[in-house]
Amino acid sequence: MAYLFTSESVSEGHPDKIADQISDALIDNFLAFDADSKVACETLVTTGQVVLAGEVKSKTYLDVQQIARDVIKKIGYTKSEYMFEANSCGVLSAIHEQSQDINQGVDRLTKEEQGAGDQGMMFGYATNETEDYMPLALNLSHKLLQELAALRREDKEITYLRPDAKSQVTLEYDDDNKPVKIKTIVISTQHDDFADEPTMLAKIKQDILDILIPRILEKNPQYAYLFNSEIEYHINPTGKFVIGGPHGDAGLTGRKIIVDTYGGKGAHGGGAFSGKDPSKVDRSAAYATRHIAKNLVAAGVADEILVQVSYAIGVAKPMGIYINTYGTKKVDLKDGEIAKKVEEIFDMRPYFIEQRLKLRNPIYSETAAYGHMGRKPETVTKTFTSPNGEQKTLEVELFTWEKLDYVEKVKEAFGL
């Protein structure tokens, strides 16, 4: 039976995403100067105020206030009329030392036996409906906002945009579970104040349709078949969106976990990613299960795969691995038998996940907006400066969990 499916995304200027980006910038700076740092940082942003809280075990000292201000400035909160501005906002730090009770469950005499930083279950998902093995509705929602942010930074074709924005895409699927068209697109973008509100709303709608959408189609021609003249657009449906960002809504780390993952497809174990070092399996095992799911789908094991792994705090070996192929498997094995083979191919103990995906590097700031999954793996050079002026320049691999480096191993294991 044909059906509709919807996913949403939020921009880097959304208050929850500001919080995520600050938390992950702290992670990166701690790891840059001490790769063994254990960090769990939460951020709250509201009108003119940033509050940092959490637990840290590290050999390095950071100017956390300046790191937060640098993130806010990079996002684009640089004007006093936003009521939240990089140079003038207050930044309060309540970060303290990590609990020894937790740390003794993670650090072991041999690194290989490193225990999981918490209990819980994590999920990874992949589908072949897009070239990056991500759900299409979420993919499109991210792209709309990434392009809108590009237009804001260019400040040429559209000059009134402010950093906060949200998008939502509803797709229609046919009886064969294939997307056939876009039914609805919702875009809410913060903007400068206009003297004439009706003119303002008409101008924003026209610019979205005449500038943003054509740029999306130009850069993503593979999605042209989904666009049609019957799409229902809801653009700034409240009529006005001048008050936004942390002045419009308080923001917290870890409140956009579905935007961060699969847009409601697959499943989610409930644990947020941002602000956590890779000893926290909420983050590292979620990346590892995405890596598994993507490589299995790319190898041809199934068209769609969900992978679950679960842990007990302080225990290295997972409680179990679960696979669901949604009836799309291409191999003559039951899902439970596929899970057994996955256990043989991928070592899911926390230390081995960290090593396989190179997670003890400062690679997390880039994950904190527009999704942790479906992104392009690349090698970049990053420079960090400590409060005493020490500089650390590192070459790091971003989004290692998106690499298709296990496809051949999977094919060999499954006889494909």
The number of folded domains in the chain is 2
Average pLDDT in the 290-295 region?
Answer: 98
Does 100 score more than 70 pLDDT?
A: no
In a domain, 92, yes or no: no
> Under 8 Å CB-to-CB from 305, ≥6 apart: which residues?
125, 126, 127, 293, 296, 297, 323, 324, 325, 326, 328
| Catalytic residue chosen out of the listed positions 256, 268, 290, 356 | 256
Q: Is residue 59 part of a domain?
A: no
378 given a catalytic annotation? no
> Is residue 260 flagged as an active site residue?
no
Q: Is 86 annotated in some ligand binding site?
A: no
pLDDT for residue 109: 58
Q: Quick one: 294 and 401 in the same domain?
A: yes
CA distances from 378 to 121, 219, 363, 375, 402 (A): 28, 20, 11, 9, 10
User: Residues 294, 407: one domain?
Assistant: yes
Q: Is 19 annotated as a binding residue?
A: no
352 is in an annotated binding site: no
- pLDDT range class, residue 195, cuts 50, 70, 90: confident
pLDDT band of 194, cuts 50, 70, 90: confident
219 annotated as a binding-site residue: no
Task: Using pLDDT thresholds of 50, 70 and 90, give the confidence band for residue 197.
Answer: confident
In a domain, 251, yes or no: no
Catalytic residue among 84, 123, 241, 273: 241
In a domain, 102, yes or no: no
Give Rg (Cα) of the chain.
Answer: 22
Asked if 376 is an active-site residue, the reply is: no
Return the closest-CA partner of residue 162 out of 69, 263, 248: 248
The CATH number of residue 205's host domain is 3.30.300.10
Catalytic site includes residue 255: yes
- Residue 241 designated active-site: yes
- Identify whether 31 is part of a domain: no
What is the helix, strand, coil percentage profile of the chain, to 5?
35, 25, 40
166 given a catalytic annotation? yes
CA dihedral 8, 13, 14, 19 (to 10 degrees): 120
Distance, in Å, from the CA atom of 342 to the CA atom of 293, rounded to the nearest integer, reads 10
Check whether residue 219 and residue 311 sit in a common domain.
Answer: no
Q: What is the pLDDT of residues 237-256, one digit of tens each?
A: 999 999 999 999 999 999 99
Q: What domain range includes position 175?
A: 3-10+136-243
What are the pLDDT digits (tens) for 59-79?
A: 999 999 999 999 999 999 999
| Last-in-domain residue among 227, 243, 259 | 243
280 is annotated as contributing to ligand binding: yes
Task: Confirm or deny that 276 is annotated as ligand binding.
Answer: yes
Q: Is 384 a catalytic residue?
A: no
Question: Pseudo-torsion of CA 5, 11, 15, 17, nearest 10°?
Answer: 90
Is 250 catalytic? The answer is yes
- Whether 16 is catalytic: yes
Measure CA 24 to chain center: 11
Choosing from 63, 70, 172, 249, the catalytic residue is: 249
Q: Is 13 helix (H, G, I), strand (E, B) or coil?
A: coil
Split at pLDDT 50, 70, 90, the class of 306 is very high
Query: Catalytic one among 42, 147, 277, 304?
Result: 42
Contact between 162 and 191 under an 8 Å Cβ cutoff? The reply is yes
Instruction: Please check the confidence at residue 334 and state whether its pLDDT lies above 60.
Output: yes
Catalytic entry in 250, 298, 312, 413: 250
Mean pLDDT value of segment 102-108: 57
Q: Of the residues 255, 265, 268, 291, which is catalytic?
A: 255
Arithmetic mean of pLDDT over the chain: 95
The answer to whether 227 is a known catalytic residue is no
**Last residue within a domain, chosen from 219, 243, 267:** 243
pLDDT at 104: 56
Q: Tell me which H or E stretch contains 238.
A: none
Sorted by sequence, the CB contacts under 8 Å of residue 267 that are 6+ apart come out as 123, 125, 306, 308
The answer to whether residue 334 sits within a structural domain is: yes
What is the per-residue pLDDT for 118? 83
Q: Does the annotation list 272 as a binding residue?
A: yes
124 in the same domain as 161: no
- 305 and 372 inside one domain: yes
Residues 361 and 278: their CA atoms lie apart, in Å, by 9
349 is a catalytic site residue: no
Annotated active-site residue in 20, 24, 28, 282: 282
Q: Which of 5, 17, 32, 346 is catalytic?
A: 17
Q: Give the end of a domain, one of 243, 262, 295.
A: 243
Same domain, 124 and 164: no
Sorting pLDDT into bands at 50, 70 and 90, what band is 101? low
Residue 162 assigned to a binding site: no
**The two three-digit tokens of residue 188, written as one number:** 């809410």
Catalytic residue among 36, 53, 55, 352: 55
Is 124 in contact with 293 (CB distance < 8 Å)? yes
**42 assigned to active site:** yes
Mind listing the pLDDT tens digit for each residue in 130-174?
999 999 999 999 999 999 999 999 999 999 999 999 999 999 999
- Is 339 marked active-site? no
Binning pLDDT at 50, 70 and 90, where does residue 288 land? very high
How far apart are the C-alpha atoms of 372 and 261, rounded to whole Å? Answer: 6
Residue 339 lies in a domain: yes
Residue 178 among known ligand-binding residues:
no
Residues 124 and 148 in one domain: no
- Looking at the structure, tell me whether residues 410 and 284 fall in a common domain: yes
| Catalytic residue flag (residue 14) | yes
The contacts of residue 75 (CB under 8 Å, 6+ apart) are 12, 13, 18, 21, 163
Is 192 within any annotated ligand binding site?
Answer: no
pLDDT exceeds cutoff 90 at 38: yes
Strand pairing class (90-97; 49-57): parallel
Residue 234 resides in a domain = yes
